[in-house]
Amino acid sequence: PLFNKFDPLPEGELRKEIEALASRLNFPLKKLYVVDGSKRSSHSNAYVFGFFKSKRIVIYDTLINQCTTEEIVAIVGHELGHWKKNHILRTLIAVQLQVLIIFYSFGLFVGERRMYNSFGMDETPVFIGLVFFQYLYQPLDSLLSFGSNVLSRKHEFEADAFSKKLGYAEQLRSGLIKLQIENKSVMNPDPLYSAFHYSHPPLVERLNAINDPEVAPKTD
């Protein structure tokens, strides 16, 4: 709200489709907003936020301009997949564990007198220990970041599969392609590089997963 303007999504086909999808999934939709993301860039997105029985869905105006109603509903279905599968809670727990590991490691490290002695220091000042820890922590940070990316990518695949099972496979495919083009993202990077650095799977991997016949859409 401080940097963007949030307006209620106007009445129309898109609003009806999203509300119908939310009702179908028993999603406690309280507000449905469109945000003026276009004043900053052409980047498109949609997301879900809120607590308990008061949830909101936010759609970028750029997404509305770039995609069809069916594609937007498919993308919202992906976002609702994150909610349905408790991905937000899992991510929050993972972040808290990461913070715990950082502080625990720092607690073990900061009082190690031999490290200070190797730099000609007789005392163990906490500030200097923090500076040393920032450098020595890098390998552990790389491992934790990789683990975080693995979890995030897993969640993205699961959310895509959820939207597909809702019956939006074709619309999700075309919507993701449009978003990738408009957001000017790399569509097929090196697999090893993307596995280590990307929190979201590359487009080609996501499309291949959506096309997986083992993930069958619902017939009802």
Among the listed residues 61, 71, 156, 160, the single catalytic one is 160
Tell me, letter by letter, the H, E, C secondary structure of 85-119.
CCHHHHHHHHHHHHHHHHHHHHHHHHCCHHHHHHC
Q: Fill in the amino acid letter for 83.
A: W
Among the listed residues 71, 79, 158, 205, the single catalytic one is 79
Residue 70 annotated among the catalytic residues of the structure = no
- What is d(CA 160, CA 74) in angstroms, rounded to the nearest whole number? 9
The string of DSSP letters for the chain reads: --SS-EEEPPSSHHHHHHHHHHHHTT--EEEEEEE-GGGT-S---EEEEEETTEEEEEEEHHHHHHS-HHHHHHHHHHHHHHHHTTHHHHHHHHHHHHHHHHHHHHHHHHT-HHHHHHTT-SS--HHHHHHHHHHHTHHHHHHHHHHHHHHHHHHHHHHHHHHIIIIIHHHHHHHHHHHHHHTT--SS--HHHHHHH-SS--HHHHHHHHT-TTSPPP--
Residue 160 annotated among the catalytic residues of the structure = yes
Catalytic residues: 79, 160
